[in-house]
């Protein structure tokens, strides 16, 4: 065990810097003409991901067989008096699991990306930014303290911006990138404020000399000290701010619109945004800071409220969308809402498992959708699709398995959903159980609606393009991962990721039957609505799924949230901005202009003196000399008058 | 009346002051460079007058003041010679000796 621990400690920094090195190599590869090869770029990127997988398997092995010990390695980075900031790596159960998830998914996404951007002119740029994102997310996952997390959090935001902006000539993509960056900045600022608060109080109250600032392994102690030292309101504010950071990254209720707009990005980027980013940034942060949140019931309630609103609203919105990418974006927001709720009721392990399972399945679905969109010549509207099962049966099967798993019928999705239900059931909270079942119902509805509209029914007239195998192979692996995850919950996951003590929750068989029944009901209703014209269902379809119906309109336009936002922005924020602009233009700038003008006028007047006429110079000097003499004589006379 | 006709130190001093002021005025106001240099000499000689007046009235035993006055006269002659040479070269270069037109050191 010691060897493995030593290996982890020694190699973790190398693991962190390897993607950065590969990015530099790819830049060199792209810069050298004639020699630059696309295969080399791909192999370098895949190699670094493979090393990541090996590293995280070792980490997992280590954590499993050493009773969840942590391998930590810290370097003192900033040392100014009381403030001592370290950079380092921490390999414990949570980071090992998320690192494994991240490196495997990233490997597959890179294979897929090769097929996706093979023909593009800016091929190398895509892989450079993928590797830089890999670097920042590895740093984020392995970070040993909160300060380092903030640094890598900001870095990942920048690279996400560049990845969304890959097709920067496309107006919508560039707008979406800007929007993503700006909305995420709100959360970043909140997180930064929270961390500054935590640093402030932990520096004030720290008793131990050699403790690492805001280290995750000591976070429970830090949080409890803080809780006993500061007032309730201060603690609430400090604990609440990081939640806002996580809310933006996880696309929760007021901050969801970036994930919807970012669907303009290439499909692999989209998969990373919806599957990997929420797990590795927001989700990881919430799980790391859980000791802090547990102490405040208000924070937990806030998690529950935000999660509940997101889960219900976005599941409802996803039911009526026609753009396949938007459906998955709303679905992401909704499912991550369930993760928030689960954390809010204290189901730490269940929430973590649900998060990772959702990550895998969402990547699978988005990538599958990407394959379909590619073969349909970038047509996103599922209304124009149909009957694709005959031409691409493999993809149809994978999509069916994926939507079945994500809605909770199969594989890891079933496992995750039963876990969530069991936790809610355990809490004896009837309303929450109903809410979550309702969300499951809606998820099954919109996922199977996509399946039926895209792969079944009448064949569409659009001619299909051939899709490279690089894009199809990762999909099969993702399905296998999802199946494998279903088997390793109890043995691996639950013994690695837990808060304070092991959670042993399982749903009774009756509960499972009820859940499956509800999900199958949803599938049946979808099937009836979209596949077979059956008189009663057709009547419902005409009544409810009608452009004029208020419920339908609300869902289709996402409760007019965007419009309300826009209205508020125009009414209040823009006015304020204009006011600030006015101040800047005429008052701040005016002062500067006046200062400059004064100098110029004065120098103009003074320059008149320098007219080159010797006599005038002499006259000035004589005048000044005379003045000086008058003053001196005056002082002398005054002195003699007074009698000094 | 006795103040006017009993010639004393103050008379010489006031005469020297008047001469100096005339010279200064001439240096500042004259347009012609030759006049300017003549006025410079006038100022120098007024100073020499000042020195010799003090030498005669304040300290008749020693001749320090008179020596300085002689020096000033010698330097005045040198000054005239040098300035005449300068004026000739300026006139060759500029074709006139009007002070208002020689403004090459303008900033």
- A608 vs chain B: nearest CA distance in angstroms? 9
What distance in Å separates the CA atoms of residue A366 and residue A355, rounded to the nearest whole number? 16
Residue of A nearest to B29 (CA): A615
Q: How confident is the model at residue B97 (pLDDT cuts 50, 70, 90)?
A: confident
Q: How confident is the model at residue A587 (pLDDT cuts 50, 70, 90)?
A: very high
What distance in Å separates the CA atoms of residue A70 and residue A115, rounded to the nearest whole number? 38
Is A618 near chain B, with CB under 8 Å?
yes
All residues of chain A having their beta carbon less than 8 Å from the beta carbon of residue B100 are 613
pLDDT single digits (tens) A166-197 = 988 889 899 999 999 999 999 999 999 999 98
- What interhelical angle do A324-345 and A430-455 show, nearest 10? 160
pLDDT surpasses 90 at A364: yes
**What confidence score (pLDDT) does residue A602 get?**
93
Q: Express the helix, strand and coil content of chain A in percent, nearest 5 each.
A: 80, 5, 15
Asked, for residue A205, whether it belongs to a domain, the answer is: no
pLDDT surpasses 70 at A209: no
Asked, for residue A399, whether it belongs to a domain, the answer is: yes
All residues of chain A having their beta carbon less than 8 Å from the beta carbon of residue B104 are 612
The reply to whether A425 and A549 lie within a common domain is yes
**What confidence score (pLDDT) does residue A365 get?**
92
Residue of B nearest to A612 (CA): B106
CA B81, chain centre distance (Å): 15
Tell if the CB–CB gap between B28 and A613 is shorter than 8 Å: no
Name the nearest CA neighbour of B18 among B38, B37, B45, B36: B45
pLDDT single digits (tens) B46-57 = 999 999 998 888
**What confidence score (pLDDT) does residue A565 get?**
84
Of the candidates A607, A610, A618, which has its C-beta nearest B28's C-beta? A618
User: What length is written for chain B?
Assistant: 107
Q: Which residue has the tokens 């809605």?
A: A407
pLDDT single digits (tens) A597-639 = 999 999 988 888 777 788 888 888 999 999 999 999 999 999 8
| Portion of chain A with pLDDT greater than 70, in percent | 98
Is A604 near chain B, with CB under 8 Å?
no
- A611 vs chain B: nearest CA distance in angstroms? 5
pLDDT single digits (tens) A531-547 = 776 667 777 777 777 77
Distances (CA, A) of A302 to A77, A443, A470: 35, 23, 43
Residue of B nearest to A609 (CA): B107
Tokens representing A530 are 């979209």
Higher-confidence position of A457 and A403: A403
All residues of chain B having their beta carbon less than 8 Å from the beta carbon of residue A614 are 99, 102, 105
A153 close to A245: Cβ distance less than 8 angstroms: yes
Specify burial of residue A608 (Cβ count, 10 A radius: 0-12, 13-18, 19+): exposed
Stretch among A154-168, A335-349, A487-501 having the lowest mean pLDDT: A487-501
Distances (CA, A) of A324 to A112, A582, B46: 19, 44, 107
Bridge partners (DSSP) listed for residue A89: A73, A143
Of the candidates A610, A613, A622, which has its C-beta nearest B99's C-beta? A613
- A626 vs chain B: nearest CA distance in angstroms? 12
Tokens representing B17 are 């002051």
**What confidence score (pLDDT) does residue A64 get?**
84
CB atoms within 10 A of CB A270: 26
Distances (CA, A) of A183 to A57, A123, A179, A244, A262: 35, 28, 6, 11, 12
All residues of chain A having their beta carbon less than 8 Å from the beta carbon of residue B105 are 612, 614
The reply to whether A459 and A502 lie within a common domain is yes
Asked, for residue A175, whether it belongs to a domain, the answer is: no
> Residue A139 half-sphere exposure, CB side, CA atoms within 13 Å?
22
Question: Dihedral, CA atoms, A296, A301, A306, A308, nearest 10 degrees?
Answer: 150
All residues of chain A having their beta carbon less than 8 Å from the beta carbon of residue B106 are 610-612
Name the nearest CA neighbour of A249 among A204, A213, A283: A283
Asked, for residue A195, whether it belongs to a domain, the answer is: no
All residues of chain B having their beta carbon less than 8 Å from the beta carbon of residue A606 are none
A320 close to A545: Cβ distance less than 8 angstroms: yes
The reply to whether A476 and A526 lie within a common domain is yes
What distance in Å separates the CA atoms of residue A248 and residue A256, rounded to the nearest whole number? 7
> Residue A325 half-sphere exposure, CB side, CA atoms within 13 Å?
24
Asked, for residue A95, whether it belongs to a domain, the answer is: no
The reply to whether A442 and A562 lie within a common domain is no
Residue of B nearest to A618 (CA): B28
Asked, for residue A107, whether it belongs to a domain, the answer is: no
A241 close to A193: Cβ distance less than 8 angstroms: yes
**What confidence score (pLDDT) does residue A355 get?**
92
Fill in the DSSP letter of residue A264.
G
Number of domains chain A is built from? 3
A24 close to A78: Cβ distance less than 8 angstroms: no
Residue of A nearest to B99 (CA): A613
pLDDT single digits (tens) A258-311 = 888 888 888 999 999 999 999 999 999 999 999 889 888 899 999 999 999 999
Of the candidates B24, B27, B103, which has its C-beta nearest A611's C-beta? B103
pLDDT single digits (tens) A104-149 = 999 999 999 998 888 888 888 899 999 999 999 999 999 988 899 9
**What confidence score (pLDDT) does residue A644 get?**
60
Asked, for residue A523, whether it belongs to a domain, the answer is: yes
Domain ranges of chain B: 2-101
Mean pLDDT of chain B: 87
Which helix (H) or strand (E) segment holds residue A523: the answer is helix A509-530
The reply to whether A385 and A520 lie within a common domain is yes
The reply to whether A335 and A481 lie within a common domain is yes
Tokens representing A87 are 């950079």
Stretch among A218-227, A346-355, A365-374 having the lowest mean pLDDT: A218-227
Architecture, CATH, for domain B2-101? Orthogonal Bundle (1.10)
Tokens representing A570 are 């125009």
pLDDT surpasses 70 at A245: yes
- A634 vs chain B: nearest CA distance in angstroms? 20
Tokens representing A440 are 């499951």
Tell if the CB–CB gap between A607 and B107 is shorter than 8 Å: yes
Tell if the CB–CB gap between B28 and A610 is shorter than 8 Å: no
The reply to whether A444 and A348 lie within a common domain is yes
User: Highest-confidence range of A9-18, A191-200, B98-107, by mean pLDDT?
Assistant: A191-200
Domain that holds residue A336: 305-554
Is A622 near chain B, with CB under 8 Å?
yes
Which stretches within B1-99 are classed as H helix? Answer: 2-5, 9-29, 33-57, 64-94
Q: Indicate the SS3 state at residue A86.
A: strand
- A597 vs chain B: nearest CA distance in angstroms? 21
- A642 vs chain B: nearest CA distance in angstroms? 28
The reply to whether A335 and A367 lie within a common domain is yes
Mean pLDDT of A500-508: 73
Of the candidates A611, A615, A622, which has its C-beta nearest B106's C-beta? A611
Tell if the CB–CB gap between A614 and B99 is shorter than 8 Å: yes
Mean pLDDT of chain A: 86
What distance in Å separates the CA atoms of residue A365 and residue A328, rounded to the nearest whole number? 8
What distance in Å separates the CA atoms of residue A427 and residue B89, rounded to the nearest whole number? 111
Q: How confident is the model at residue B1 (pLDDT cuts 50, 70, 90)?
A: low
The residues near A389 (Cβ < 8 Å, ≥ 6 apart) are: A396, A455, A456
What distance in Å separates the CA atoms of residue A258 and residue A303, rounded to the nearest whole number? 20
Tell if the CB–CB gap between B104 and A613 is shorter than 8 Å: no
Specify burial of residue B80 (Cβ count, 10 A radius: 0-12, 13-18, 19+): middle
| Portion of chain B with pLDDT greater than 90, in percent | 39
All residues of chain B having their beta carbon less than 8 Å from the beta carbon of residue A612 are 103-107
pLDDT single digits (tens) A455-482 = 887 777 777 777 888 888 889 999 999 9
Bridge partners (DSSP) listed for residue A73: A89
Name the nearest CA neighbour of B100 among B26, B23, B33, B31: B31
- B18 vs chain A: nearest CA distance in angstroms? 16
């Amino acid at each position: 065990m010691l060897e493995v621990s030593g290996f982890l400690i020694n190699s973790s920094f190398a693991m962190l810097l390897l993607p950065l090195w590969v990015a530099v190599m790819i830049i060199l590869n792209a810069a050298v003409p004639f020699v630059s090869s696309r295969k080399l770029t791909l192999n370098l990127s895949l190699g670094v991901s493979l090393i990541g997988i090996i590293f995280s398997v070792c980490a997992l092995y280590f954590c499993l067989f050493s009773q969840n010990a942590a391998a930590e390695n810290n370097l003192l980075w900033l040392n100014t008096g009381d403030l001592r900031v370290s950079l380092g790596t921490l390999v414990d159960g949570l980071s090992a699991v998320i690192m494994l998830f991240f490196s495997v998914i990233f490997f597959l996404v890179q294979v897929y990306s090769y097929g996706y951007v093979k023909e593009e002119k800016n091929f190398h740029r895509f892989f450079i930014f993928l590797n830089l994102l890999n670097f920042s997310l590895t740093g984020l996952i392995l970070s040993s303290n909160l300060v380092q997390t903030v640094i890598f959090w900001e870095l990942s935001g920048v690279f996400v911006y560049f990845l969304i902006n890959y097709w920067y000539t496309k107006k919508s993509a560039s707008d979406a990138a800007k929007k993503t960056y700006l909305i995420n900045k709100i959360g970043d600022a909140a997180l930064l404020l929270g961390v500054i608060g935590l640093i402030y109080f932990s520096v004030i109250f720290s008793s131990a000399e050699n403790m690492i600032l805001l280290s995750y392994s000591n976070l429970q102690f830090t949080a409890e000290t803080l809780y006993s030292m500061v007032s309730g309101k201060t603690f609430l504010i400090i604990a609440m701010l990081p939640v806002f950071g996580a809310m933006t990254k996880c696309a929760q209720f007021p901050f969801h619109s970036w994930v919807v707009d970012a669907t303009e990005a290439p499909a692999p980027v989209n998969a990373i945004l919806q599957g990997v980013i929420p797990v590795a940034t927001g989700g990881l942060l919430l799980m790391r800071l859980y000791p802090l949140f547990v102490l405040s019931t208000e924070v937990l309630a806030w998690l529950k409220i935000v999660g509940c609103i997101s889960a219900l609203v976005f599941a409802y919105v996803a039911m009526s969308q026609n753009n396949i990418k938007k459906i998955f974006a709303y679905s992401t927001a909704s499912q991550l809402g369930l993760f928030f709720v689960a954390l809010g009721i204290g189901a730490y392990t269940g929430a973590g498992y649900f998060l990772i399972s959702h990550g895998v399945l969402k990547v699978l679905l988005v990538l599958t959708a990407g394959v379909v969109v590619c073969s349909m010549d970038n047509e996103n509207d599922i209304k124009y699709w149909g009957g694709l099962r005959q031409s691409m049966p493999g993809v149809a099967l994978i999509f069916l398995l994926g939507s079945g798993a994500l809605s909770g019928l199969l594989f890891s999705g079933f496992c995750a959903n039963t876990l969530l239900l069991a936790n809610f059931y355990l809490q004896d909270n009837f309303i929450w159980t109903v809410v979550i079942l309702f969300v499951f119902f809606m998820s099954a509805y919109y996922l199977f609606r996509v399946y039926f509209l895209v792969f079944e029914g009448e064949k569409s007239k659009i001619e299909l393009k051939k899709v490279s195998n690089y894009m199809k192979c990762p999909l099969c692996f993702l399905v296998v991962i999802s199946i494998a995850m279903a088997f390793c919950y109890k043995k691996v996951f639950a013994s690695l990721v837990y808060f304070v003590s092991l959670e042993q929750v399982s749903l009774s068989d009756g509960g499972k039957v009820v859940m499956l029944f509800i999900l199958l009901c949803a599938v049946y209703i979808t099937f009836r609505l979209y596949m077979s014209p059956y008189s009663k269902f057709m009547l419902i379809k005409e009544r409810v799924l009608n452009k004029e119906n208020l419920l339908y309109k609300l869902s289709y336009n996402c409760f007019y949230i965007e419009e309300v936002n826009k209205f508020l922005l125009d009414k209040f924020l823009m006015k304020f901005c204009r006011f600030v602009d006015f101040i800047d233009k005429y008052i701040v700038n005016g002062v500067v202009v006046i200062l400059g003008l004064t100098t110029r006028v004065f120098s103009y007047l003074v320059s008149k003196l320098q007219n080159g006429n010797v006599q005038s110079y002499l006259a000035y000097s004589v005048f000044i000399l005379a003045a000086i003499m008058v003053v001196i004589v005056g002082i002398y006379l005054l002195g003699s008058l007074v009698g000094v | 009346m006795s103040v006017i006709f009993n010639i004393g130190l103050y008379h010489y001093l006031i005469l020297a002051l008047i001469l100096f002021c005339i010279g200064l005025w001439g240096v500042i106001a004259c347009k012609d460079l030759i006049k300017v240099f003549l006025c410079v000499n006038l100022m120098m000689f007024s100073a020499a007058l000042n020195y010799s007046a003090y030498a005669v009235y304040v300290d008749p035993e020693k001749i320090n003041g008179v020596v300085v006055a002689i020096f000033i006269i010698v330097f005045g002659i040198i000054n005239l010679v040098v300035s005449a040479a300068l004026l000739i070269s300026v006139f060759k270069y500029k074709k006139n000796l009007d002070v208002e037109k020689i403004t090459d050191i303008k900033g």
